[in-house]
């Protein structure tokens, strides 16, 4: 069975090509997996998927321009013949739930042995699913993400150190509405500040 892949990964600028190249090389050693494109950010990934129509896109979560979960959602909604496998350093139940909710068919961590990763790619290409079993078990006991889309949006911007007025201008809301979203997020994460709420949400895989 020939499986096509659109590989992408994101670490640091100099390391991206090394990591992507290493993963691509390991997979192509399997003989039945062809890596048809590589991308360094979410926008490049979407372009590569539209150009090559791979069976499986292997996607990191944290990347510039468009994160892996948002990219997965876009691929799911626009490209029915491409399935997504999340491959990430961040093995958090919250990320797993968000990824599956976005339409991902697989979720593995980067320390997964090459043969297991290749098996996951084949399973997904054949129409199945492949999820890290440890994370799958942990997610059964992890509460659902209580944050709304708007709360997550303002928290991500708050992480950058922007003030309420600057956040409001960025998301086209009034400062009072932004304060309400931040206050709600702080309450839901049991934090003391918006920065603390963002940090806690990030640790839980909610952002």
182 in the same domain as 113:
no
**113 in the same domain as 16:** yes
Give the end of a domain, one of 117, 140, 163. Answer: 140
Contact by Cβ (8 Å): 59, 8: yes
Among 151, 143, 144, 139, which Cα is nearest to 187's?
A: 151
Whether residue 109 is found in the same domain as residue 48: yes
pLDDT of residue 207: 84
Instruction: Select from 75, 73, 77, 78 the least CA-distant residue to 57.
Output: 75
Q: Say yes or no: 15 and 90 in one domain.
A: yes
What is the CATH classification number for the domain harbouring 69?
3.40.50.2300
**In a shared domain, residues 56 and 81:** yes
Based on the structure, what is the number of domains in the chain? 2
* DSSP assignment string, 7-70: EE--S-HHHHHHHHHHHHHHHHTTSSEEEEEEESSHHHHHHHHHHH--SEEEE-SS-SSS-HHH
Shared domain for 193 and 135, answered yes or no, is: no
Single residue among 140, 157, 192 that ends a domain in this structure: 140
Residue 18: its pLDDT value, please?
65
Instruction: Write down the pLDDT at residue 182.
Output: 93
Domain that holds residue 171: 149-203
Whether 111 and 155 map to the same domain: the answer is no
- Integer-rounded Cα radius of gyration of the chain: 18
- Local confidence pLDDT in tens for the 207 residues of the chain: 343 455 443 322 223 566 677 777 777 777 778 788 888 888 889 998 888 888 999 998 888 888 899 999 999 999 888 999 998 887 888 888 889 999 999 999 888 888 898 899 999 988 999 998 888 777 766 677 888 989 999 999 998 889 999 999 999 999 999 999 999 999 988 888 898 898 888 888 888
Beta-carbon contacts of residue 111 (< 8 Å; ≥ 6 apart)? none
Kindly report, residue by residue over 153-176, the tens digit of the pLDDT: 999 999 888 999 999 999 999 999
pTM of the model: 0.70
Is the domain of 43 the same as that of 85? yes
CATH of residue 168's domain is 1.10.10.10
Assess whether 106 and 19 both reside in one domain: yes
**132 plus 164 within the same structural domain:** no
Say whether both 128 and 43 belong to one domain.
yes
CA distances from 60 to 12, 16, 38, 100, 137 (A): 13, 11, 12, 14, 21
Choosing from 115, 140, 165, the residue where a domain stops is 140
157 in the same domain as 174 = yes
């Amino acid at each position: 069975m020939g499986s096509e892949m659109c590989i992408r990964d994101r670490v640091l600028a100099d390391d991206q090509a090394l990591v992507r190249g290493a993963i691509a090389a390991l997979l192509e050693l399997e003989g039945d997996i062809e890596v048809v494109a590589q991308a360094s950010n979410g926008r490049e990934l979407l372009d590569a998927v539209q150009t090559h129509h791979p069976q499986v896109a292997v996607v990191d979560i944290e990347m510039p321009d468009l994160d892996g979960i948002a990219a997965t959602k876009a691929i799911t909604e626009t490209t029915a013949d491409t399935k997504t496998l999340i491959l990430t350093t961040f093995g958090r139940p919250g990320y797993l739930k968000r990824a599956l909710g976005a339409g991902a068919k697989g979720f593995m961590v980067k320390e997964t042995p090459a043969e297991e990763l290749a098996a996951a790619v084949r399973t997904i290409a054949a129409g199945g699913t492949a999820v890290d079993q440890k994370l799958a078990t942990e997610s059964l006991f992890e509460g659902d993400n209580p944050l709304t889309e708007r709360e997550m949006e303002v928290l991500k911007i708050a992480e950058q150190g922007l003030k309420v007025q600057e956040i409001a201008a960025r998301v086209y809301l009034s400062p009072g509405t932004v304060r309400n979203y931040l206050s709600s997020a702080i309450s839901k994460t049991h934090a003391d500040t918006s920065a603390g709420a963002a940090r806690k949400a990030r640790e839980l895989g909610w952002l």
